[in-house]
Amino acid sequence: MPIICHVCNDKKALLKRPKTGHALCKECFYWAFESEIHHTIVTGKLFKEGEIVAIGASGGKDSTVLAHTLKVLNERYNYGLDLRLLSIDEGITGYRDDSLETVKRNQQEYDLPLTVLSYETLYGWTMDAIVKKIGKKNNCTFCGVFRRQALDRGAMMLGVNKIATGHNADDIAETILMNILRGDIARLKRCTAIITGDDPSGIPRVKPFKYTYEKEIVAYAYFKKLDYFSTECIYSPDAYRGHARAYLKDLESIRPSTIIDIIHSGEMLSVCQGVKLPSQLKCVRCGYISSNELCKACILLEGLNKGKPKLGIGKTSKVTQQLKLSKSEEASCSGGCNKIKNDL
């Protein structure tokens, strides 16, 4: 006996929703998935009519489903958004070059303008060259810091009002867990926010998938036959995040609501009055927001260019003092041309 859809009570159910456990047919799943994201967008006040929104597009499942869903919802509910795709080319042969081909096909399919910015153009280094220099141990630190800044720079170039990223509920729960384990209060406070970087000088980043399970994104992409790139980066994922992910999966197997429970717990945590949080300064070299005189990207670049690639790994404040900024640098960096934001 086929199982009948829990919602329409008519069609044959094709999947059991990871989020609710309900058996649904394809159409009812699409509707539930899209409606929940619409609800997140509306209740979180993520967009305003007329805004230009850059979707951070990597060609992976999250950003592909994000581009597809935002296009559908923008038309269905008349958000009045001008959507663009913004891709960052880290310079990873055999990985990013292939995934960018997927983004280009999606650009045609969704008819959205695409801009690609490369690390090579922005920093003079590809990730291939960085890994040659530093090996595979801290490569994700370089890549993550450079990507955040690159997205901001691209967004400024395009003159957009918001950047939408495909961070899903699983990513956010992992990050909450990692920040708790590291005791990083400033990031813990920031990583649960659905909008970050909304200070006067910045371009806000929004996460429409904050409450969307990774498993549902995969199911949606699969049933809709979306074109996405699923190969892992050849420089392997961050080992610490990998452990946090495995731990969460274990918890989820015995308690399916673990992901949402952790996000809700993260949202409920508040920082006691009197606890000192890092102040937000501007990098004296490039103008990006930083909690030290020099931002992390500038320190990492300095290390690479001076043949001391380990320079930026570890405490930024100590390195800033070691670097003893020259007077000319301080004088030439009065403007806030750019900013960096550690949103996760």
CB-CB contact of 192 with 199 (8 Å): no
- Quick note: the x/- pattern for ligand SF4 over 4-43, rule CB under 6 A, is ----------------------------------------
Residues 141-160 that bind ligand SF4 (CB under 6 A): 143-144
- Token code pair at residue 196: 């970050």
CB of 313 to ligand SF4, least distance (A): 14
Q: Which does 117 bind (CB under 5 to 8 A by kind): ligand SF4, Zn ion, none?
A: none
Out of 30, 223, 235, 247, the only residue in the binding site for ligand SF4 (CB under 6 A) is 235
Stretch that binds ligand SF4, among 189-197, 204-212, 230-238, 279-287 (CB under 6 A): 230-238
Among 66, 88, 100, 140, binds ligand SF4 (CB under 6 A): 140
DSSP secondary-structure letter at 4?
B
Q: Rounded to the nearest whole angstrom, what is the least distance from the CB of residue 300 to Zn ion in the complex? A: 10
Question: Which of residues 19 and 296 has its CB atom nearest to ligand SF4 in the complex?
Answer: 296
List the alpha helices (DSSP H) in the chain: 26-43, 61-76, 96-110, 119-123, 127-134, 139-158, 169-182, 185-191, 214-223, 239-254, 258-268, 296-305, 316-323, 327-332
In angstroms, rounded to a whole number, what is the distance separating the alpha carbons of residues 260 and 253? 14
Query: What do you get for the CA distance between the two ends of the chain, in Å?
Result: 46
What is the C-alpha separation between 277 and 257, in angstroms, rounded?
Answer: 31
244: partner contacted, choices Zn ion, ligand SF4, none (Cβ within 5-8 A by kind): none
Interacting residue with ligand SF4 among 57, 127, 134, 160 (CB under 6 A): 127
Residue closer to ligand SF4 (CB basis): 99 or 320: 99
**DSSP state for residue 161 in the 8-state scheme:** S
Our CA angle for 196, 289, 66, nearest 5°, is 35
Cα 256 from Cα 250, distance rounded (Å)? 10
Binding characters for Zn ion, 295-334, by CB under 5 A (x = yes) = x--x------------------------------------
Q: Which helix (H) or strand (E) holds 6?
A: none
The answer to whether 162 and 53 are in contact (CB under 8 A) is yes
Binding residue for ligand SF4, selected from 62, 90, 214, 216, defined by CB under 6 A: 90
The binding site for Zn ion (CB under 5 A) comprises 283, 285-286, 288, 295, 298
Residues forming the annotated binding site for ATP? 56-58, 62, 88, 166, 171
Interacting residues with ligand SF4 (CB under 6 A): 90, 127, 139-140, 143-144, 233, 235, 237
